[in-house]
């Protein structure tokens, strides 16, 4: 049973990795009539894309808050990605405690990313009157959260108990 559990944990980790990479790479976190908002770039319908780090908010507090929260979300998603990589490797090595620990940290990071990005004032964050809505990559972050919790459960029940 431990051999099958190892492969199940590895599969859950691999699927989580795929979804996390897809969420980070996409520009479909938020959308309004004029642009797609990603964690690293804004892709307007007309014109060139703009890096999040290059946005000039001036004195607009809502814009600054939106940029800060977008940067925080990308940081937590990246930390979650690295923890998911660690959990996947440790599940392949059948290291139960380390798999659970890495998957738990990943789940917390994905949770924080979802909460922070979901708290952006979507009506005013990137300009007054921009009525935006969340897109597929935000949903992928939620799926990463759920898969990380599943990875914890799979590791707990199926990986061999070790001395560590």
Give the pLDDT confidence of 55-76 residue by residue, as tens digits: 877 777 777 888 888 899 999 9
Per-residue pLDDT of the chain (164 residues; tens, 9 = 90+): 445 778 889 999 999 999 999 999 988 888 877 778 888 888 887 778 888 888 877 777 777 888 888 899 999 999 999 999 999 999 988 888 999 999 999 999 999 999 999 888 665 555 555 667 788 999 999 999 999 999 999 998 888 776 45
If you write DSSP's letter for every residue of 54-83 in order, what string do you get? G---TT-HHHHHHHHHHHHHHHHHHHHHHH
C-beta of residue 9 within 8 angstroms of C-beta of residue 151: yes
pTM score of the predicted model:
0.88
- Residue-range domains of the chain with CATH: 2-158 (1.20.140.150)
Tell me the C-alpha distance between 158 and 156, whole Å.
6
Report the candidate in 139, 116, 137, 125 with the shortest Cα–Cα distance to residue 28.
137
């Amino acid at each position: 049973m431990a051999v099958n559990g190892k492969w199940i944990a590895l599969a859950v980790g691999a699927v989580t990795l795929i979804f996390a990479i897809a969420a980070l790479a996409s520009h479909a976190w938020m959308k309004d009539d004029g642009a797609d908002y990603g964690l690293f770039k804004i892709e307007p319908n007309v014109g060139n894309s703009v890096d999040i780090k290059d946005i000039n908010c001036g004195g607009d507090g809502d814009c600054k808050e939106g940029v800060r929260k977008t940067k925080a979300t990308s940081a937590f998603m990246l930390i979650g990605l690295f923890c998911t990589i660690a959990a996947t490797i440790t599940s392949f090595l059948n290291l139960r405690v380390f798999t659970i620990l890495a998957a738990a940290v990943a789940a917390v990071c994905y949770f924080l990313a979802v909460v922070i990005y979901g708290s952006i004032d979507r009506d005013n964050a990137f300009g007054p009157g921009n009525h935006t809505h969340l897109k597929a990559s935000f949903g992928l972050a939620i799926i990463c959260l759920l898969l990380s919790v599943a990875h914890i459960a799979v590791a707990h029940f199926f990986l061999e108990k070790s001395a560590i």
